[in-house]
Amino acid sequence: MNVEFINPFLSSLMNVLSTMAQTQLKPGKPRIKTDEIACGDVSGLIGMVGPQTRGSFSITFDESLALTIMERMLGERPDSINEEVTDMVGEITNMVTGGAKRLLSEKGFEFNMATPIVVSGKNHTIHHKATGPVVIIPLNSPLGRAYIEFSFDE
Amino acid sequence: MNVEFINPFLSSLMNVLSTMAQTQLKPGKPRIKTDEIACGDVSGLIGMVGPQTRGSFSITFDESLALTIMERMLGERPDSINEEVTDMVGEITNMVTGGAKRLLSEKGFEFNMATPIVVSGKNHTIHHKATGPVVIIPLNSPLGRAYIEFSFDE
């Protein structure tokens, strides 16, 4: 069930952002995504394939938050979402999923990761099409919002 | 090398759209994506994991083309990109990748597919972050444009 995956993904994200970018986000309550739409400006997506199930993970940032993370990681703030920013979001997606993979492996749940894909564009929304419920966790900060979402086949 | 993957993905797409939606698209010349930006309104994305390599595939549609495909498949044209349209784009992504998987398996190239993810939002762009080149194939029709893109780790 997806719910036991919440902590591995969430703690891996918090760890990556605090280590790499000295950024603390405040997680809101995880919930099952229904009709609500979570939108953002740049998203990292990754597919996962394992013997038990397969699924997908995404992390979506407001532009302001993505640019601040970039500034904290590399010392320069780009004017807008350029290729360096999408590279960084792809790398964060890889690191967060890799961290969650290690934590889930300890629980006996194994998967391999595909390569990340990054989407840029004002106010886009992500729709995970695995057959299980989509778990969404909003994260807030004075710098802007982020969301993580994931879903696995049931 | 990515180039030998072109025909499996392209012929699978042409087959899916002609069979499911009586729609013929005119493929342009496949090329390696460099600085150019291909944007669209709704995209289906999928990750692939195999013993030799891993990668990602995407298909992006203009809204007008996605709505026409929906109309031809289901007999009704939605006013805009709603959940039925994103379900259809996810299903097309699954079918196209599944068809390419079968064709590539005949060439000795094996992978498993993750679950599809669909992105909606005006004029978004997709950035594949595998280490190999990104192959892009534009497709035209009087109904609107589409693009397929894929990339694999080298």
Q: What is the pLDDT of residues A2-14, one digit of tens each?
A: 678 999 999 999 9
CB-CB under 8 Å, A117 with B126 = yes
pLDDT of residue A1: 47
pLDDT exceeds 70 at position A36: no
Cβ distance A80 to A28 under 8 Å? no
Residues in chain B: 154
| Structure confidence by residue, pLDDT tens digits, B43-100 | 999 999 999 899 999 999 999 999 999 999 989 999 999 999 999 999 999 999 999 9
Contact yes or no for B47 and A83 at CB 8 A: no
| A81-139 pLDDT tens trace | 999 999 999 999 999 999 999 999 999 999 999 999 999 999 999 999 999 999 999 99
AA letter at A129: K
| B-interface mutation test, from A60, A127, A128, most B Cβ less than 10 A away | A127
What is the residue-wise DSSP string for A96-149? HHHHHHHHHHHTT---EE---EEEEEEEEEEEE-SSSPPEEEEEE-TT--EEEE
State chain A's mean pLDDT as an integer.
94
Secondary structure letter of residue A79 according to DSSP: S
Residues of chain A above pLDDT 90, percent: 90
Q: Whole-angstrom Cα distance, residue A138 to residue A149?
A: 9
Q: Which of A112, A118, A126 is opposite residue B127, by nearest beta carbon?
A: A118
Q: Look at the pTM and tell me if it is higher than 0.90.
A: yes
pLDDT beyond 50 at B1: no
